[in-house]
Structure 1
Amino acid sequence: MLRLSALYRYPLKSGKAESLQHSGLDKLGLDGDRRWMLVDEASGRFLTQRAVTKMSQLSALWNSAGGLTLSSPGHTSLDVPLPDEDAALRGVTIWRDTPRLPDAGDAAAAWVSEFVGAPTRLVHMPLKRARTTQSGYGRDDDQVALADGYPLLLIGQASLEDLSEKVGRPMEMLRFRPNLVIEGADAFAEDGWKRLRIGDVEFRVVKPCARCILTTIDPRTGERSADREPFATLNGYRKTEDGAMFGQNLVNDGVGHLEVGMPVTILE
């Protein structure tokens, strides 16, 4: 039987994961997932572990009021309230999108600037300012918050085990930053899925996930793998013309609730 074996939320884009036992779903995916982002103060361009590797050690815990608690070793924690969705808008750039998003204020900016080591701002993505997903995949009205492209990422547990065997050592699931982990299927069975249901919510599989050098960052230490694993192995046996694929991007049709242990039904 297929089951949901793990749930992860990333309140801050490229920050540490929160492991969840249950979560609500709104139209942008898991409640609170990737609704916050660091940007360069001068340019407004988004920051991730690609440029700031130590973001893997930045904890940003989401609370039910929508705010964050920022913490990291060597830094005093800071509670950041949810900013007014129409106040202090800041122009930012995330890939090809240039939304105007609420700025979290000077106290948050001072904290994240000290952490990054350069002038940085913290911004929030309210529901009404959501981006549209990549053209040509899914539906024209599909939306996403601050994830790279889509609201949700799914990975099969057996797929990770297959990759770990080929690499020659265990690979941490969090190197790949999924939201949903499915247990009970064959390795890479998710490549053939088109629609599935978990609880009362249906999901569409819209696009495989092309992986990048971020997979070489150890989520526990923030250090890059000297041998470029598992990215090197993925390039060896999962390479396509669009990149090395691992995991599937999903869009949820409707809102609802997920809980670890729920059965998963493949509809198509």
Structure 2
Amino acid sequence: MNYVVKELYIYPIKSLAGITVQSAKAEEMGFEKDRRWMLIDEENQFITQREYPKLSQFYPNIKGNKIEISHYDSTHEFLIEESLNEPVFSKVWDDESMVVEVNKATSKWFSEALGFSCKLVKILNKGDRKHNSSRLNQTLNVSLADGYPYLLIGSKSLEFLNEKLKEKVTIQRFRPNIVISSQLPHEEDFFDAFQIGTVKFQNVKPSGRCVMVNNNPKTGIVFKEPLKTLSTYRTSNNNVFFGTNIFSLNEGTIAVGDDLTFKI
């Protein structure tokens, strides 16, 4: 069987739109620049599309040493390296996360666009957020992603779902980092260790999905699908699964077109 990388995505700011890329540098915390930023409210709680579906309508773009955000007819940019010096203590779910505000102007722009006070913050150092994995019985240095550093999805999993849906959905609903060509629906759930390019990965567990997959990334409007249909055949222990969580065992660059192999 031949598995090939079809698409790669990074999501610089947690819960905003993603960026499709031709290659990406794999790091312990996830792809370089993937979910290194997030929005927090006045109580320093992280903000996602679960509560604010319109976050999907903010589109980041990396331009040299800057990140530009487009939101309808408004744009804003900030330097990738910039941040204020004062630490902010937040959480991503149960994981304590030390972050820093990017700058006051950027926080003001997001606050005005969203209609409530918030800050854009950044994780600076490996180890500023640790995720304790009961499945692995180890602690991982992670970014500001929900849990694990990477999400991998096989192409047949999406095809199988779309066969059951009246209105087809795109892979962007599921916010993967790596999309591979596959032969069987959800066979990626059962991968163990594998390699793409020079990077070795370890599978952790299938990814439990939430209402965010019902948010149409093109419109920011939430319906009942595809979670309703997925729940009819992908439910276990009250979780609905789609795609699988993985982490990297070393650093390196992977690219669209690379083979996925199990000889590591």
Cα RMSD after superposing both structures? 1.7
Whole-angstrom CA distance in 1 between matches of 2:50 and 2:190? 30
Whole-angstrom CA distance in 2 between matches of 1:194 and 1:267? 11
Aligned position for 1:48: 48
**TM, length-normalised to structure 1:** 0.93
Aligned position for 1:248: 244
Q: Taking structure 1 as reference, are residues 29 and 263 closer, same or farther at Cα in structure 2, changes over 3 Å only?
A: same
Q: Is the 8 A contact 2:203 2:247 kept in 1?
A: yes
Q: Is the 8 A contact 2:39 2:47 kept in 1?
A: yes
Residue by residue over 1:200-233, the C-alpha shift from the partner in whole angstroms, topping out at 9 and shown as x without a partner, is: 11100001100111111111111112xx010001
Q: Taking structure 1 as reference, are residues 134 and 230 closer, same or farther at Cα in structure 2, changes over 3 Å only?
A: farther
Q: Could you tell me the percent identity over the aligned residues?
A: 33
Q: Taking structure 1 as reference, are residues 145 and 5 closer, same or farther at Cα in structure 2, changes over 3 Å only?
A: same
1:229 match: secondary structure:
coil
Aligned position for 1:206: 204
Q: Taking structure 1 as reference, are residues 167 and 134 closer, same or farther at Cα in structure 2, changes over 3 Å only?
A: farther
Aligned position for 2:120: 122
Unaligned runs of 5+ in 1: none
Whole-angstrom CA distance in 1 between matches of 2:250 and 2:12? 21
Q: Any runs of at least 4 consecutive aligned residues in structure 1 with deviations exceeding 3 A, and if so which?
A: 62-65
Q: Which amino acid aligns with 2:210?
A: C
Q: CA deviation at 1:141?
A: 3.7
Whole-angstrom CA distance in 2 between matches of 1:205 and 1:248? 7
Q: Counterparts in 2 of 1:170-181, with a 5 A limit?
A: 170-181=168-179
Whole-angstrom CA distance in 2 between matches of 1:195 and 1:122? 35
Q: Which amino acid aligns with 2:18?
A: A
Q: Counterparts in 2 of 1:86-235, with a 5 A limit?
A: 87-138=85-136, 140-225=138-223, 228-235=224-231
Q: Taking structure 1 as reference, are residues 242 and 135 closer, same or farther at Cα in structure 2, changes over 3 Å only?
A: farther
Q: CA deviation at 1:63?
A: 5.0
Whole-angstrom CA distance in 2 between matches of 1:20 and 1:242? 34
Unaligned runs of 5+ in 2: none
Greater strand proportion: 2
Whole-angstrom CA distance in 2 between matches of 1:189 and 1:258? 21
Q: Is the 8 A contact 1:108 1:122 kept in 2?
A: yes
Q: CA deviation at 1:139?
A: 5.2
Q: Which amino acid aligns with 1:17?
A: G
